[in-house]
Structure formats: structure tokens, C-alpha cells
Amino acid sequence: MPTEDRESNWFLWLIGISCAVAIFCAFYFFYYKEDYSFVVEVACDPLKEVCFQRDCSNPDDCPPNDLSSFKRFSLNASDFKKCANEDCTSVCETGAIKCEPVKCVENSDAGESCSTLENSTGN
């Protein structure tokens, strides 16, 4: 009987230590090191560049930023605090932080399309 108790205690200790390691790793990478990416939306002029397009005629279908023409950038979470008021337009476009542009891809499920320069200029 005492051997079974010792084996079950060993198993519980192993599970407890594994959970503690998983929690520590998650805390380290997501809170301390901020080793993940954000995708942000910034205003876009469809007359000058290819933009994502969404229909904001129904306020329920539009996010709080109310951008119907926008572009997306991917940036490191640790750089996001350099964006003023959660708007990364100026820091991404000036190169103050490393922002990777996200290529526009049609997504009918999300109600998003891509503008084209030819359509925007009427050609």
C-alpha cells in the first residue's frame, strides 16, 4: 500500500510541475517578452493605393474604428506601445517601428474586398 501512495504522489508532483512550467513559459513569452504579432488597421486612400474595402452602411457590421477603406500592418506586440492612441498610421508609414504590410486578399466571409487603382480612377 505505501508504494502505491508514493507512486501517486510522484504523478501529482509531475503534473503540478508541468503546469507551473507551462504557466511560466506563457507568462514569459506573452507578458514579459511580448513575442507575438498584432495586426492593425490604418486609414487608406483607395485613389493612391490598393486598400481593403468593407461596407460600413450597417454600424453592426463595422468595427469601432469605422474604417471602410483601410490597410493592414503586422507588427511586434512590444512595438505596439509606440503607437499613439492605438493608431499606428504615422509610426508604420515613417518607419519608426518595423511594420510589415499585409497584402489585400478578398474575403467574402468577412465582407471584405480589395480596391484596385484602375477601379478607383475610373479607368
**Would you state the pLDDT for residue 52?**
92
Domain total for the chain? Answer: 2
Answer for the pair 77, 34: CB distance below 8 angstroms, yes or no.
yes
CA distance 58 to 66: 10
Owning domain of residue 44: 37-121
**Would you state the pLDDT for residue 15?**
94
Question: Are residues 103 and 81 part of one domain?
Answer: yes
Condensed to tens digits (0 to 9), the pLDDT of residues 53-103 reads 988 887 777 888 788 899 999 999 889 888 888 788 889 888 889 999 999
CA distance 121 to 45: 12
Question: Are residues 53 and 27 part of one domain?
Answer: no
Percent of the chain at pLDDT exceeding 70: 89
Residue among 80, 71, 55 at smallest CA distance from 103:
71
Question: Are residues 3 and 59 part of one domain?
Answer: no
Question: Are residues 73 and 104 part of one domain?
Answer: yes
Q: Which amino acid is at 20?
A: A
Q: Which amino acid is at 118?
A: E
112-114 and 69-76 strand pairing: unpaired
CA distance 73 to 53: 15
CA distance 76 to 39: 9
Question: Are residues 83 and 23 part of one domain?
Answer: no
Question: Are residues 115 and 90 part of one domain?
Answer: yes
